[in-house]
Amino acid sequence: MNDKLFIGGEWTTPSGTARLDIVSPHDQTVLGRVAQALPADIDRAVAAARAAFDAGPWPRTAPEERIAVLRRVNALREARAEEIAELISAENGSALWFTRAGQPGLTRQAVAFLKAAEAFGWEETLTPSDPSVPFRSIVRREPIGVVAAIIPWNSPFSAALAKVIPALLAGNTVVLKVSPENSLSMNLLADLLSEAGLPSGVISVLPADRETSEYLVKHPGVDKIAFTGSTAAGRRIASLAGARLKRVSLELGGKSAAVILPDAVLEDVFAGLKFGSLLNNGEACIAQTRILAPRGRYDEVVAGLKEMMESLVVGDPADEKTFIGPMVRPGQQRRVRDYIEIGLAEGARLVTGGPEIPAGLDKGNYVTPTLFADVDSTMRIAREELFGPVLVVLPYDDEDDAVRIANDSEYGLSGGVWSADEEHALAVARRMRTGTVTINGAPIGFDGPFGGFKASGVGREYGAAGLAQYVELKTVTVGS
């Protein structure tokens, strides 16, 4: 049991006696107990961050020195990659193949930020557009201040580092609020950040509930909120931030479409959607869960997806044969099964799966991978984010119809296009109103910006665009 909280770079005694049991999604055994942060702990963390920003060395440290510290963080994480993968799998129910596969991705994410920081225009002198002007302008990119980073449970290290690395590279101080479900792995992250040599007060890592999270968002000592989570929670945070004119960036939900063009090689499509649609047990904001198939090949697509989904091994996430593990908690299991019932009530055709718990897995938070056909865009299962291993197949008439259906969503986070003609696929991708589009199953990169259109968010993460979310622009005019 860890009965301490990581506040301002040190493990300290919490203000209260609240403790969190970290429960296995697989069999409901208790994996560990940790301290839970309360508003008084938030006050201490924000005060430490405020002091470190206002009077400490970190914001005034040269960018290359901050880069060196964050490079150490990445190296320390790489050295414990297998431990991290196993811990997240145990906490979240994420299959071990997924948490292991994510470790090189974390390295690429960090390297992209470090590369961006090295080339970032921290201070630039602008040449006057009119040569007769007797002054020059210096543009500086300076840290915003105290950043409250609030992350979800589904991919904790990726979400945490997508905020912590650029915020720290820019010279900010950070209070990282993590989900209770991830307290064990995020306490490990706290150890890594401490070992890397960050100055006192610069970073805190606090597991807390929603009420305490809202207290952090409203805290007068916080200058910026960086949030990943549901669109509903994002709207609430945006309203609270707007009332206080806090800077805010939001990476929110999705209901992404995979557009299968008539010339696509279906064997490649099914192999790719196994990962692109069902990664992390379907508990992924970027999952392509709306499958758009041409009417002329609709039955082929449905049959192929059925075969693929029925081949997936569902079970213990620690078993290397498992592809789909349990949902993170009983409430999420109920939510997904309820949506399956809604799909049946809406008249969608159940192709495989259903609301029944997989045989022999009744102790865990398991959901049977489920495929619906004969779905249209008016159905809730085609419009709302389920966050589980449930796919829906929608038919389209022609390319214009496919684009219309893909864009007929309040969300716009991710999406995909499948075609034997790459240029044709690119032409369709350009018409999709979404922040990221992958062609033929290509992975999402970390050098380009990541984020959403419409209700999928505000701002961008990754690379130079992600780093830019954590700076203020200052112009200094100097006479000649």
List, in order, residues 6 or more apart from 176 with CB less than 8 Å away: 149, 151, 160, 163, 164, 186, 203, 204, 205, 206
d(CA 345, CA 349): 10
| Helix axes of 298-310 and 266-276: crossing angle, nearest 10 degrees | 50
- Two structure tokens written together for 15: 């203000």
| Helix axes of 39-54 and 210-218: crossing angle, nearest 10 degrees | 30
396-414: burial string, b at 16+ Cβ within 10 Å, e else: beebeebbebbbbbebbbb
Q: What is the distance of C-alpha 132 from the center of its chain?
A: 49
251 is catalytic: yes
Q: Residue 267: exposed, middle, or buried by beta-carbon count in 10 A (0-12, 13-18, 19+)?
A: exposed
Nearest 5°: CA angle at 310, between 395 and 317? 120
10 is catalytic: no
Catalytic residue chosen out of the listed positions 91, 181, 285, 461 = 285
Q: Are 335 and 281 in contact (CB under 8 A)?
A: no
Catalytic residue chosen out of the listed positions 91, 181, 251, 461 = 251
Question: Alpha-carbon dihedral of residues 312, 339, 394, 289, nearest 10 degrees?
Answer: -50
Comparing CA positions, the residue from 445, 420, 418, 446 lying closest to residue 432 is 418
Any idea which residues carry the catalytic annotation? 251, 285
